[in-house]
Structure 1
Amino acid sequence: MDIGAFFGTILWPIKWVVELILVAWHWLLTNIGMDPAAGLTWVLSIVGLTLVVRAALIPIFVRQIKNQRRMLEIAPQLKKIQEKYKGKKDQFSREAMSRETMDLYKKTGTNPLSSCLPLLLQMPVFFSLFQVLNGAQGGHAGVGPLNATLAKQFGNSSLFGIAPLHQSFQGALNAHPQQVAVMVIAACMVVLMTGSQFLTQLQIVSKNMSPETKASPQFKQQRILLYLLPFVFLFSGFAFPLGVMFYWLTSNIWTMGQQFLVIRNLPTPGSDAAKAREARLARKGKLIQEDGAVVLSLEEEPKKTTQRVQPVGKNRAKKQTGK
């Protein structure tokens, strides 16, 4: 059994569900009056498919955020263990360091690999999405509800009647004659895809990292990737069919919005985003300290009531002093 057939067997149920959602959106849009063969109908079906899949992955994303927070909480303790065995390269010290580290993970209920697990679980879903969309645009029937008729209809559909969804920038460039409309739309899509990917990562690097993380060597590597990865998407995107690029762009926009909400409401402790959130809560009088005390903003401090002192006449003053 070759690798392709092996992965095809594993992804079969996921692809079936993906096709079901895609066809369901196409059926819904068709029943509200849209042309079933129009490129716009299929583009909106792809957008609907992406939104359903990303919404289903929200629990996994929340779990990833929680795991990352736990790792941040035990980071000082991990650093103490590393400093304790710093410079010791004998086998006994390495085993002791490993044992203490694992005991810390067990005690706090954390796992360094757990933060990567959500990403690993998402990969089969995204890979199935790509295969379904790419195969359908070639007119090939899927493994489930996407039958040969719908697949052919999808493969022959064109956006605005001039840009086939199965076509890519590279294919339009090599066509005779060249398909200029496809090249323009594809180029715009690539720029939007690359820009949204860059902004999403920039949000994390610039606002949601603690000073300790920014001082680490890993941060420098992440800064390099921040500017390197967009170029990878920039060049690889020219080989993606238009339909796949609509999925990718929709997914990027979802990620960007989701990341914005997480950074705003659940920022990394000590980061610029956390300081900005504390300032917002302080202005609203909702900032709670570790001891449970509520910090009121200057505008909401209770006003002190002072009683006005009435003027006292000379004769009355003498009586009060007994003089």
Structure 2
Amino acid sequence: MDTIGNLFSFITGPVSWIIVQFHKLYGAVFGPDTGWAWGLSIVSLVIVIRICLIPLFVKQIKSMRNMQALQPKMKAIQERYKNDRQRQSEEMMKLYKETGTNPLSSCLPILLQSPFFFALYHVLSKIASGDTIGSLNQQLVDSAREAHIFGAPIAAKFMDDPGKVEALNASIVDVRIVTAIMIVLMSASQFFTQRQLMQKNVDLTVKTPYMQQQKMLMYIFPIIFAVMGINFPVGVLVYWLTTNVWTMGQQMYVINQNPTPGSKAQDHYLQRLLKSITQHGEVRGRRRRAVILAIVAKGPDRNDNERRFISSLAKAGYTAQADGTVEKVDPAVAEAEAAAARRQQPKRQTKAKRQTAPVQQGSTKHSLEKKADPGQSDQPSQQGKAGSGSTRQAKSGQRKGQQRPKHPSSKK
């Protein structure tokens, strides 16, 4: 890990300078040698980095949505050119260019954050060994070595030997308890962040391999972080736990305010929007008007959530306008217009109906051909007339065809 840290040594200077500036601020409040001063300095470093990465986070969300929407087309290209890898790659790149999708956009926040992560690791390693680095002079290094977070030095690791921990004026038991709790919290926050994305912000009507991959990552990433966490100093665990919590909160805000079409989050958002319209009698906010404008513009291409929203709006006595506003009308008229729009919508068949449709059409066609051929239709009746006289004709009120034999004990 030291080798990786040296590769990102070019950024250790800015990272150490930011930590020192925040340490001056928090040291004046909590004391320069306290764990609160150094711990909050690391937390503030995370906040600064994540604020700078907000535009990339928005691109990441858009890229993930585009990738999910393109999965059916990508699968069709793979099946069509499965024997021609070069043509398959060309068609994929053409699809990305036409839709403006960049597959690497979903990885940009992590890739751009990694230099800061390894630089912080390198800084804390130098602090543990008592060496100066960047803006941290010997006095600040000694102060950081003495700083403890809940009894654990910020430069100590779960796998450190007792002698090294004692040199930092701490107990190995305290270090392992604190690091174990932080590793569990770090892995749990990673799991719930991915779970929140999969359960609330995914279009459940589109089943693609991309969703299965994301579901696997939901379980794999926490395990990876737990295994790697035992080799991270306490300060790095503070950094990674803070960035996970930030990501979870940032993602929750985006999901609530800008959900993926067709997802559960969109259904909840439209229910809140409907409640606001019925309470105030108008659409409040430019962004909400833009949402209604987009739904109206879709017309027959609306998903189930959007159709339910338009129908509920009509029941409440409102109709959505093309400019994103709503107009108060007679509920009966609005409901009639919504019913007419629903009749224009093609009914969505289930998978079983789609599979049995060709079979039913074939059987119907076969039966029509049999009825159209008089020679074939008369043949069974002629055979029936030529049958033996032992066959009894069905009496009035009895079921025609072969009768079920009576039980031997019953009376004849």
Looking at structure 2, the residues matched to 277 and 211 of structure 1 have their Cα atoms a distance apart, in angstroms, of 16
Looking at structure 2, the residues matched to 202 and 172 of structure 1 have their Cα atoms a distance apart, in angstroms, of 36
Please name the residue that 2:181 is paired with.
188
8 Å Cα contact 1:64/1:118 also seen in 2? yes
Looking at structure 2, the residues matched to 82 and 202 of structure 1 have their Cα atoms a distance apart, in angstroms, of 29
Q: 1:110 aligns with which of 101, 108, 116?
A: 101
Q: 1:155 aligns with which of 131, 145, 170?
A: 145
Q: 1:30 aligns with which of 27, 31, 34?
A: 27
Which protein, 1 or 2, shows the higher relative CO under an 8 Å CA cutoff with sep ≥ 6?
A: 1
| 1:46-61 correspondence to structure 2 within 5 Å | 46-61=42-57
8 Å Cα contact 1:283/1:297 also seen in 2? no
Looking at structure 1, the residues matched to 68 and 219 of structure 2 have their Cα atoms a distance apart, in angstroms, of 25
Please name the residue that 1:252 is paired with.
244
Looking at structure 2, the residues matched to 18 and 29 of structure 1 have their Cα atoms a distance apart, in angstroms, of 17
8 Å Cα contact 1:169/1:240 also seen in 2? yes
Q: Once the 2 structures are TM-superposed, how far is the Cα of residue 108 of structure 1 from its aligned partner?
A: 2.8
Query: Quick check: 1:198 aligned with 2:191?
Result: yes
| 1:26-175 correspondence to structure 2 within 5 Å | 26-31=23-28, 33-83=29-79, 85=80, 89=83, 91=84, 94-142=85-133, 144-159=134-149, 162-171=151-160
Looking at structure 2, the residues matched to 127 and 201 of structure 1 have their Cα atoms a distance apart, in angstroms, of 23
8 Å Cα contact 1:282/1:297 also seen in 2? no
| TM-score normalised by L of structure 1 | 0.77
Gaps of 5+ in 2: 278-282, 284-290, 300-308, 319-327, 332-412
Query: Quick check: 1:262 aligned with 2:280?
Result: no
Looking at structure 1, the residues matched to 171 and 27 of structure 2 have their Cα atoms a distance apart, in angstroms, of 32
SS at match of 1:115: helix
Amino acid at match of 2:11: I
Amino acid at match of 1:47: V
Q: 1:95 to 1:163 in 2, by over 3 A?
A: closer
Q: 1:298 to 1:146 in 2, by over 3 A?
A: farther
Q: 1:229 aligns with which of 207, 218, 221?
A: 221
SS at match of 2:136: coil
Q: 1:182 to 1:80 in 2, by over 3 A?
A: closer
Looking at structure 1, the residues matched to 230 and 8 of structure 2 have their Cα atoms a distance apart, in angstroms, of 26
Please report the RMSD computed on the Cα atoms of aligned residues, expressed in angstroms: 3.1
Q: Once the 2 structures are TM-superposed, how far is the Cα of residue 18 of structure 1 from its aligned partner?
A: 0.9
Q: Once the 2 structures are TM-superposed, how far is the Cα of residue 244 of structure 1 from its aligned partner?
A: 1.7
Please name the residue that 1:274 is paired with.
266
Identity of aligned residues (%): 40
Q: 1:114 to 1:253 in 2, by over 3 A?
A: closer
Amino acid at match of 2:125: N
